[in-house]
């Protein structure tokens, strides 16, 4: 997936959602956007008053970058997908007949990725802990 949206949108949640849960739900495996900062000749990147917000997620410094709010939310979307991937991997380790696993699979199929992202991550975490506990109990019983 490319350019959904291009950098420079003022709503940081857009990047977390679009490059995280939305990407996962749509079945994408990768995402890419234009450069995290685009320099234009004769325009000072720090002067948003003169140019508006251009294609940038960061501002340059002599020793690195200063991130925008969108820059900070982008990796949150990646982390959301990491949580989901862990949950899916744990589901693959459990027995098909496990009622909790079947319930979680149903929940994942109907997951509303437009909801509160922090709440969705909390719910994913709870399900991860449930499955880990069940896997540990199964291993202990062997």
Distance CA 33, CA 29 (A): 14
Contacting residues for 135 by C-beta, under 8 A, at least 6 apart: 90, 93, 94
pLDDT per position as a tens digit, 55-100? 678 888 889 888 888 888 889 999 999 999 999 999 988 866 577 8
> What are the residue boundaries of the structural domains of the chain, listed by start?
12-70, 76-141
Asked if pLDDT for residue 111 goes beyond 90, the answer is yes
Q: Is the peptide bond before 62 cis (omega within 30 degrees of 0)?
A: no
Report the pLDDT value the prediction gives residue 113, as an integer from 0 to 100: 92
Report the pLDDT value the prediction gives residue 72, as an integer from 0 to 100: 86
Report the pLDDT value the prediction gives residue 8, as an integer from 0 to 100: 65
Place of tokens 């003022």: 10
pTM: 0.82
Distance CA 45, CA 58 (A): 9
Contacting residues for 44 by C-beta, under 8 A, at least 6 apart: 50, 51
The string over 1-12, giving b where at least 16 C-beta atoms fall within 10 Å of a residue's C-beta and e elsewhere, is: eeebeebeeeeb
Report the pLDDT value the prediction gives residue 76, as an integer from 0 to 100: 94
Tokens of 2: 């490319």
Neighbours of 93 (CB within 10 A): 12
pLDDT per position as a tens digit, 13-38? 988 999 899 999 999 988 877 777 76
């Amino acid at each position: 997936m490319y350019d959904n949206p291009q950098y420079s949108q003022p709503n940081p949640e857009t990047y977390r959602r679009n490059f995280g849960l939305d990407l996962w739900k749509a079945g994408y495996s990768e995402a890419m956007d234009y450069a995290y900062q685009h320099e234009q000749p004769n325009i000072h990147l720090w002067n948003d008053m003169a140019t508006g917000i251009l294609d940038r997620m960061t501002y340059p410094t002599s020793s690195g970058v200063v991130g925008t709010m969108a820059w900070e939310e982008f990796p949150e979307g990646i982390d959301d997908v990491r949580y989901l991937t862990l949950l899916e991997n744990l589901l693959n380790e459990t027995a098909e007949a496990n009622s909790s696993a079947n319930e979680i699979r149903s929940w994942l199929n109907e997951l509303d990725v437009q909801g509160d992202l922090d709440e969705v991550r909390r719910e994913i975490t709870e399900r991860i802990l449930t499955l880990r506990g069940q896997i540990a109990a199964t291993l202990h019983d062997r």
